[in-house]
Amino acid sequence: MDEVLNYIVTEENAGDRLDIFLAGQPPDLSRSYVKRLISEGAVRVSGRREKPSYKVKLDELVELVLPEPKELSLEAEDIPLEVLYEDEDLIVINKGAGMIVHPVGDICRGTLVNALLGYCDHLSQINGVLRLGIVHRLDKDTTGALVVAKTDKAHLDLARQFHLREVKKVYLALVHGVFKEERGTIELPIGRHRKDRKKMAVDELKGREAVTHYEVNERFRRHSLLKIRLETGRTHQIRVHLAYIHHPLVGDPVYGRRKDNLGFERQALHAYSLGFTHPITGEYLEFIAPPPEDMNRLLEKLRGCKGGKGFSFEFQG
């Protein structure tokens, strides 16, 4: 059965393209999927059909009709998953490095969705076949806690919580440079890079609001280990913000330094904890994803000893 979703354009979104506006609303549909729905007539703006490029206006009503899920066509794969929690409505995964969350372009195997199809007997289909159950994403080489919806009802409520910034997300990041201050906030808008469209950048004219809180957890001779809490969830937000203040992530191939990466082969970023309200029971849940072994070894190396001290993640900011 088709599902109808309604959105009112707020002052923050007035002037956005229709496809960008809808892609930024729950349940976090991909922009390409939104464009397809618009072209198929599944979107109305105050009762009218409009093009994806239409600029939405304040207080306009945008109606989106999500089509009934189609039969699955992706291949299920037997890929090991580290499951932190699971029930009939959702599953929380500690995602490993090197895994893309959902199929994109020519990549249709080895993704988290393929692994989930091999593990679960049902997943939410709100985001279409290619993004079954996916409520939010982590970059390919970012590790850590990620929640996946098994039912459409759970998906819609989790997407609402992310959109309203009710989800608590804390990350562990190893960066270049030593911070003098104990904590701080980076509040700089982020948008698509104007020259390199594959990258994001701080853009004070056309960027969208982005707020990153950080706290120093440990200092080394030339590096710092940070605890980071996100208020917003822009693409590459942590990586872009830290690079902008001249503290890029160790190992970041896009925004970091090409040299002096301590032999680390990916960005040193881990989604350490994830807290949200259960979409069905209303209970607040919070999950800790243990840092991966490669990051632990890197920290041991910086400490100059094995074992080192444990992590303390009581965020103050």
Domain boundaries, the chain: 3-66, 83-163, 168-303
Domain at 3-66, CATH class: alpha beta
User: What does the alpha-carbon distance between residue 9 and residue 43 come to, in Å, rounded to a whole number?
Assistant: 14
Shared fold status for 3-66 and 83-163: no
User: What does the alpha-carbon distance between residue 35 and residue 55 come to, in Å, rounded to a whole number?
Assistant: 14
Q: What's residue 1's pLDDT?
A: 62
Low-confidence ranges of the chain (pLDDT < 70): 1, 28, 68-73, 105-106, 197, 258, 305-317
Owner of token pair 């509040």: 187
- What CATH architecture does domain 83-163 belong to? 2-Layer Sandwich (3.30)
Q: What's residue 99's pLDDT?
A: 93
Strand positions, DSSP E, the chain: 3-8, 43-45, 61-66, 83-86, 90-95, 143-149, 168-176, 183-187, 190-192, 200-202, 211-219, 223-230, 269-277, 284-288
List the one residue out of 244, 289, 247 whose CA is nearest residue 93. Answer: 289
Please give the positions annotated as active site: 139
Q: What's residue 31's pLDDT?
A: 80
The helix/strand/coil state of 134 is strand
Q: What's residue 125's pLDDT?
A: 86
Residue 26 neighbours by CB under 8 Å, 6+ apart? 156, 159, 160, 162, 163
Fold of 168-303: Pseudouridine synthase (3.30.2350)
Q: For residues 215 and 227, is the Cβ–Cβ distance under 8 A?
A: yes
Q: What's residue 220's pLDDT?
A: 95
List the one residue out of 234, 190, 191, 186 whose CA is nearest residue 214. Answer: 186
Q: For residues 279 and 154, is the Cβ–Cβ distance under 8 A?
A: yes
pTM check: above 0.75: yes
Q: What's residue 210's pLDDT?
A: 94
